[in-house]
Amino acid sequence: MTVSINDIKSADWQPKLGEIGSVVESIEDINQCIRIILATPKGSDPHRPEFGSDIWKYVDYPVKEAIPNIIRESVDAINAWEQRINISKVKAEIVESTIALQIEWMFKDSEETQSVEVTV
């Protein structure tokens, strides 16, 4: 389904990844931004070399070392690049060479917690 500009109800929106003609708004916009930030290795965007995160650096570390570093990197990257939210909680798990993150967040002017799962 193609979305027209009249269909967009939120000030915060962007094209939906993987679906031509679709958009994400509000909470889904934030969740998509978080996924993009965490899935983008720092240095891979030539116009914004500091954009993204370094969580991928810790995949081969021992799990007891990797998890706290992945959580720290995730929080630092989200805080740097997503100014509309506060992070409440981050859980990380490494399965084979995949990092699975569960991130709980709140809009800065709200107490309602939202959640997003990110697999990198």
Please report the pLDDT score of residue 23 as a whole number.
Answer: 83
Domain with 13 in it: what CATH number? 3.10.450.40
**Phi/psi of residue 98, nearest 5 degrees:** -115, 135
Number of domains in the chain: 1
**Residues 118, 120: Cα–Cα separation, whole Å:** 6
- pLDDT tens, residue order, the chain (120 aa): 566 667 778 777 888 888 888 888 889 999 999 999 999 999 999 999 999 999 999 988 899 999 999 999 999 999 999 999 999 999 999 887 789 999 999 999 888 999 999 998
105: containing domain: 5-119
Question: Under 8 Å CB-to-CB from 28, ≥6 apart: which residues?
Answer: 16
Please report the pLDDT score of residue 4 as a whole number.
Answer: 66
Whole-model pTM? 0.88
